[in-house]
Amino acid sequence: MTGDAADTPRLRLTATQEQRLRELGADPGFLEGRFVDAATRDAAFTRLQDDLTRAGREHLRELRTGSRLPRLVELEHALSAALVGAGFVRVVTPLMISSDALRRMGVEHGHPLREQVFWLDDGRCLRPMLAPNLYTLLRRLGRHWAKPFGIFEIGPCFRRDTKGASHLNEFTMLNLVELGRPEREGRGRLEELAALVMAAAGVAEYDLEVTESEVYGAMIDVVVAGAEVCSAGLGPHPLDGNWGIVDPWVGLGFGLERLLMAREGYPNIERAGRSLSYLDGVRLNL
């Protein structure tokens, strides 16, 4: 009668074991596991630690020999190739933007995003988004190119987001925007472009959800297993007048680290981002 109770697995990993396995990238399910006694637990811990360490070393070896590049870099290449293949033009714009550019995006004092901006001492800031630069280029390129045409940028953005499992202070945004298709085609085109990016990113399962954004009003989010990987919007939009844009547009902004997190099943975004503790998701104190 007492035998059953004694055999019930109740023992958790120690805090140190759990921390170690988390760093090594263990499946979160394993970290919740229960064991019948300390010997069984410690053996399971050692086995998994060895497996993960071996896999990490193998990954570092592949990086060392050049047989692979960091996933963030590979993802950037894959997304860029897919968009160029679809006729989009890649652009590269400044990381430092003016306070006026934010104001023209409707990000003024009292606006929640305003609190997340990293200010430089000359009134400029590190861009928290790509939209102001892309708005400017759309207007200028519209004088040269027949519509519709599309542009995209992939590069760093900065936000003082409260650190959590899915926010980084510096992350990589893909923002694509297409100008000049008839407004009635907007929603369909948005879905088509979302599908193009998700296929290039290697994420098969996702949902589209209609939400409200502080900056753009009604938005459509691309969500993977409950986590937002993209916010997308449609113009004409009230902000367009600030940028001299009169044609309809479709725009989508993806976080590359969020895409990696979704695809690789990382429980924490830190593994996907720029880091000194990880190289391409491999913990360096193996």
Q: Transcribe 1-43 into DSSP letters.
A: -HHHHHHS--BPPPHHHHHHHHHHT--HHHHT--BSSHHHHHH
Which residue has the closest beta carbon to Mg ion? 231
CB nearer Mg ion, residue 51 or residue 115: 115
Decide which of ligand ATP, Mg ion, none touches 181; Cβ closer than 5 to 8 Å per partner kind. Answer: none
**Cα(22)–Cα(26) distance, integer angstroms:** 5
Distance separating alpha carbons of residues 193 and 178, to the nearest angstrom: 10
* Cα–Cα separations (whole angstroms), residue 117 to 173, 213, 229, 246: 16, 17, 20, 28
Q: Which residues bind ligand ATP (CB under 6 A)?
A: 159, 161, 167-168, 171, 173, 228-231, 253-255, 257-258
Place of tokens 């109740």: 10
The pattern of x and - marking residues 224 through 263 that bind Mg ion according to CB under 5 A reads: -------x--------------------------------
Strands 207-213, 217-224: pairing kind: antiparallel
- The one of ligand ATP, Mg ion, none whose footprint includes residue 41, by CB under 5 to 8 A per kind, is none
**Nearest-angstrom CA–CA distance, 49 and 47:** 6
Q: Which does 258 bind (CB under 5 to 8 A by kind): ligand ATP, Mg ion, none?
A: ligand ATP
Residue 137 C-beta: closest distance to ligand ATP, Å: 18
By a kind-dependent CB cut-off of 5 to 8 A, residue 255 interacts, out of Mg ion, ligand ATP, none, with: ligand ATP
Indicate the residue among 13 and 102 with the shorter CB distance to ligand ATP.
102
- Contact at 8 Å (CB) between 193 and 170? no
Looking at beta carbons only, is 53 or 268 nearer to ligand ATP? 268
Comparing CB distances to Mg ion, the nearer of 175 and 231 is 231
230 strand-pairing partners:
222, 254
Contact residues for Mg ion (CB under 5 A)? 231
